[in-house]
Amino acid sequence: MQLPHNLVSCQWLAQHIDDGSLVVFDAGMSPAGSAKPYLAAAIIKGAQRFDFSNHLHDTTNPLPNMMPNAAFFTQAMQAMGVSQTSAVVVYDDQGIYSAARAWWMFKAMGFNNVAVLDGGLPAWLAQQGPVQSAYSSPLAQGNFIAQVQVGLFIDAAQVLNSVADENVMLLDARPANRFSGEQAEPRAGMRAGHIPHSKNLPYPDVIEHGFLRKTAELKALFGLRVPSHVQQLQFSCGSGVTACILALAASELGYTDLAVYDGSWSEWGQRVDLPIDTH
């Protein structure tokens, strides 16, 4: 089964929920700085847990939510029943929030038949979609093989090398007062401010009531920030999660050269060797 695009509706998922090639993942997460474990109000029928904060991440890196290597991701997805011919739908309990990170992780590992559930769990519950009280287990071992797509996740050195490049634009998904440095970061030990020459596009601006905004509205938001000559868009946030929401929006607009700064401000903000702006 081929997914229609980067987003699927609750109506679409309801029609295909029993398709044997479909794998559904709850990619919800606790808010940044929260010590409380993630607990969803309900679980969509057949869904498994996709926990990139506590399981599906680079355990050798002290930074939060960092992308694991291909071997780890391959083994994990096979154990969760994902195959090369699977269709994967990811969702979260906020509407569109952390599911975009799971979507980008699959893209970065060369798997493109993946989509975010537009509206997420709240929209699913609103239309009375079927739910269950516990996560499902995979029916069988999958044959997923990760094929790393170089450049979809980038590091601090790559961001720093692009700061003065007028053909590259970095969009920061954090709230405006954190971008400006007026508000302290929720994680301890972080400097306040933003990466030089970056522009602020808070992730809630591209979402309305848990759904991605309409194309015309997204075009206006990106058009105010991205000059026509820009060739690559980079995205940053607090820990590489909400940056992926901007990547999702940009992909829907037809931008193709996209990169997410994996360490984001969790790395940049604590490294005193990296430059910051506060205006």
My answer on whether 16 and 73 are in the same domain is yes
Give the residue numbers marked as catalytic: 237
The token pair that represents 9 in the structure block: 């509706």
My answer on whether 17 and 57 are in the same domain is yes
pLDDT tens, residue by residue, 2-60: 998 899 999 999 999 999 999 999 999 987 767 789 999 999 999 999 999 999 999 99
277: in domain: no
Q: Let me know the angle formed at the C-alpha of 27 by 118 and 104, rounded to the nearest 5 degrees.
A: 75
My answer on whether 102 and 168 are in the same domain is no
My answer on whether 127 and 167 are in the same domain is no
My answer on whether 182 and 248 are in the same domain is yes
Q: Supply the pLDDT for residue 102.
A: 98
pLDDT tens, residue by residue, 227-267: 999 999 999 999 999 999 999 999 999 999 999 999 999 99
Statement: residue 189 has pLDDT above 90:
no
Cβ(128)–Cβ(222) under 8 Å?
A: no
d(Cα 194, Cα 179) in Å, to the nearest integer?
5
Q: Supply the pLDDT for residue 220.
A: 97
Q: Residue 11: which domain range? A: 7-132
The CATH number of whichever domain residue 165 belongs to comes to: 3.40.250.10
pTM of the model: 0.97
Residue in 228, 162, 174, 232 with CA at minimum distance from that of residue 201: 174
77: in domain: yes
Q: Percent of the chain scored above 90 by pLDDT?
A: 93
My answer on whether 81 and 165 are in the same domain is no
Q: Supply the pLDDT for residue 135.
A: 98
Q: What is the number of domains present in the chain?
A: 2
pLDDT tens, residue by residue, 136-187: 999 899 999 999 999 999 999 999 999 999 999 999 999 999 999 999 888 8
273: in domain: no
Average pLDDT in the chain? 96
